[in-house]
Amino acid sequence: MKLLLTSGGVTNESIRRALVEMLGKPIEEATALCIPTAQYGHPMCTPETGRRFVAGPDSMTALGWKSVGLLELTALPSMGQRWIPWVEGADALLVDGGEATYLAHWIRASGLLEVLPRLSETVWVGVSAGSMVMTPQIGPEFVSWDGSETGDRTLGLVDFSIFPHLDFPDFPENTRAHARKWAEGMDGPAYAIDDQTAIRVVGADVSVVSEGHWERLE
């Protein structure tokens, strides 16, 4: 699986070009499934924030895809395996933010984690928690769901952690100083990225795509 791990989505032309390159085709010829599940685990999220991700005019679902479907992970355990061809047939999975440990729980519980290794050409496009879920841990600062069985541990499909929304005006605690302090609690390297930045992961190749601000933190 190819990963495009963003803080705020496909917010500029550099990130959009990276997405097209990873897809290997224009967005207009690609199919996508959007996954809003992480929203349900975060106390700041509401039905309105969920609607904006699924159908908002500035969301990733509005990038001009050939088709867009909705995949709700909490429903999958009750559906047998008929959802698996939907995932295998998608060119991209658009994974929204919210609560990363909640999302990690449902990626495991739904069976999606077992399918991911088969999706070698699929692009996982994460937003905030949708990106953080792929990392080994998020830090207690970002845990807001009390049902996590693994503390601040997430899926560990990459070997670095992510501090999102760097310098975001509505989150005064998301400063570089806070990011550096947070990084001291991480077991490995980390990136602090703003909403104009993405981390591109293809195999062992990791690169930063940015028209904004970011910092690698050891």
Write the pLDDT tens digit of every residue in 53-101.
Answer: 888 888 899 999 999 999 999 999 999 999 999 999 999 999 999 999 9
**What is the C-alpha separation between 15 and 125, in angstroms, rounded?**
11
Q: What are residue 93's DSSP bridge partners?
A: 33, 124
Confidence of residue 144 (pLDDT cuts 50, 70, 90): very high
Ordered by where they begin, the domains of the chain are: 2-217 (3.40.50.880)
Distances (CA, A) of 192 to 66, 132, 161, 209, 212: 33, 11, 9, 13, 11
